[in-house]
Amino acid sequence: MANWKKFKKFVQKVAKPVAAVAAIVYPPLIPMIGSALGATGAATAVVGAAALSGAASAVAGDSTSDILKNAALGGAAAGIVNAVAPTAFDSGLLSGGGAAATTAPATTAATTAATDIGLLSGSTGTGLTAGGSGLGLTAGGGSLGITAASPGASAIGGSLGTQLAGISTGIGAAGALSGLTAPATTAGTSAVGSMAPVDYGLTSGGAATSSGGIMDSLAKYGSGVLDFAKANPQLAGSLLGALGGAVSAANAPKEQTTTTSIDPQIKAEYLANLERAKAAAANLGVRQFAQPGAMYTAAEQNLYNLGMTPFGAKDIQQFFNPYEEQVVQGALGDIERTRQMQEQANMAQATAARAFGGSRQGVVSALTNEAALRQAGTTGGQLRSAGFTQAANLGLAARPMNIAGLQTSMGLGAQRDALTQARLDAQRNIELERLAITGGALGLQPANTGSTSTQPLYSSTVGSALSGGLTGAYIGSLLQPKPI
């Protein structure tokens, strides 16, 4: 277990030198930090390196941003880190130099920049000003292959100068005093060309010094710029590359257009079908409904009437036995005939008794007639009562059967009506059915009739600046003196 005070002292002792060699001791660390800071791709190396550059304040309690701002390379680091945000190329990348040169008198700004923040200010205010076609990195650059005489070197320098002239107004002012404005182009080019191949071209002691080249101009504004460039050629290269990348991004296309189309025959068929659909929709009439048929209507009416008519004599009457009267009359006739036969017998008996016409015969005849009448009444009543009861029962039984019959008739009528309705619908929907056939042939999915899409290309100036910075860092590493 370590004591925190001792450990803090340990870190304070070693932080700065350890950070200086971090890229060699642990190469994956730089992109790891860059990635953690939100950079992607090649930019992770530049951002990671910038974040580590202020390590002198590590574990001192300062925030990351404070460290970046206060560190020796604060201008450069803040510029690159701020470049991650898509708004701050001018205020970020040039904040160490361009901004200072804008606000302060040019001479003072350049001097101050050379002392305080080194190459960054020197770069924006002096070495990379408008017309800086002479910024070929080496004289006769045998090791680099980038010389003033190289094809395109002049164009690269001119392009950088032109773009830089528009980035910050302060650059032009500082550049004018630095001696690297347009009039210096020719001199710079020739000076670089005359430099010895072994000279890095970034030192005041190089061959360029005597010819008024870039480094010679830089040297006028303090040794800090050159010392830093010698000590940190990779970072210096990153800054140069970042500026170049930004210039390239400014001229990059900002959008792309993609056009897709379908087979013209399919498209024509689809459009024709679409027209047919429109016509069918326009001509589609109101749906027609079949009127109830005669069968249904009659059955419905009768059922209604039946339901509204209470059970009564009429229902019974229709079930009376039409032969009931004959039966009754037959029975009564039998009784009458019996009475008459009895009366004949009574008369014969009275005659035999020599009492015919007497009172006794009169009494016997009266009794016979009375019995016959009574029998006739009883028999007729019984017969008629039975007929009524039977008719009533039949009438009650017939009513539900009548209802069922009427309902059956209504069902049959409804079926006929449905057929009529189907005929009407078929006539109305014939166009829709035809469209369904042609539409199905064209597929379930709507045809792609072609489209044009425009997508923005996010080739940000910042991203290109970071990418360019990485390339510059590589060039800077080549400039690095080999260890003895």
Residue 132 or 237: which CB sits closer to another protein? 237
Contact 273, 153 (CB under 8 A): no
Q: Choose one: 18-26, 116-124, 275-283, 428-436; the region binding another protein (CB under 8 A).
A: 18-26
Residue 59 or 432: which CB sits closer to another protein? 59
Tell the smallest beta-carbon distance from residue 85 to another protein (Å).
16
Tell the smallest beta-carbon distance from residue 474 to another protein (Å).
11
Q: Choose one: 3-11, 204-212, 249-257, 378-386; the region binding another protein (CB under 8 A).
A: 3-11
- HEC profile for the chain? CCCHHHHHHHHHHHHHHHHHHHHHHCCCHHHHHHHHCCCCCCHHHHHHHHHHCCHHHCCCCCCHHHHHHHCCCHHHHHHHHHCCCCCCHHHHHCCCCHHHHHHCCHHHHHHHHHHHCCHHHHHHHHHCCCCCCCCCCECCCCCCCCECCCCCHHHHHHHHHHHHHHHCHHHHHHHHHHCCCCCHHHHHHHHHHHCCCCCCCCCCCCHHHHHCCHHHHHHCCCHHHHHHHHHCHHHHHHHHHHHHHHHHHHCCCCEEEEEECCCHHHHHHHHHHHHHHHHHHHHCCCCCCCCCCHHHHHHHHHHHHHHHCCCCHHHHHCCCCCCHHHHHHHHHHHHHHHHHHHHHHHHHHHHHCCCCCCHHHHHHHHHHHHHHHHHHHHHHHHHHHHHHHHHHHHHHHHHHHHHHHHHHHHHHHHHHHHHHHHHHHHHHHHHHHHHHHHHHHCCCCCCCCCEEEEEECCCCHHHHHHHHHHHHHHHHHHHCCCCC
Q: Does 412 bind another protein (CB under 8 A)?
A: no
Q: Does 14 bind another protein (CB under 8 A)?
A: yes
Q: Does 143 bind another protein (CB under 8 A)?
A: no
Binding residue for another protein (CB under 8 A) from 95, 138, 144, 483?
483
Residue 18 or 298: which CB sits closer to another protein? 18
Residue 8 or 374: which CB sits closer to another protein? 8
Q: What does the alpha-carbon distance between residue 407 and residue 68 come to, in Å, rounded to a whole number? A: 97
Binding residue for another protein (CB under 8 A) from 197, 234, 282, 410?
234
Residue 32 or 386: which CB sits closer to another protein? 32
Q: Choose one: 25-33, 127-135, 168-176, 328-336; the region binding another protein (CB under 8 A).
A: 25-33
Q: Does 25 bind another protein (CB under 8 A)?
A: yes
Q: 204-233: which residues touch another protein (CB under 8 A)?
A: 232-233
Tell the smallest beta-carbon distance from residue 47 to another protein (Å).
9
Residue 20 or 295: which CB sits closer to another protein? 20
The interface mask with another protein, positions 26-65, x = CB under 8 A, is x--x--xx-xxx----------x--xx-xx-xxx-xxxx-
Tell the smallest beta-carbon distance from residue 178 to another protein (Å).
27
Tell the smallest beta-carbon distance from residue 77 to another protein (Å).
10
Q: Does 1 bind another protein (CB under 8 A)?
A: yes
CA-based radius of gyration for the chain: 61
The interface mask with another protein, positions 382-401, x = CB under 8 A, is --------------------
Tell the smallest beta-carbon distance from residue 147 to another protein (Å).
22
Tell the smallest beta-carbon distance from residue 49 to another protein (Å).
10
Q: Which residues bind another protein (CB under 8 A)?
A: 1-4, 6-11, 13-15, 17-26, 29, 32-33, 35-37, 48, 51-52, 54-55, 57-59, 61-64, 67, 232-234, 476-477, 480, 483-484
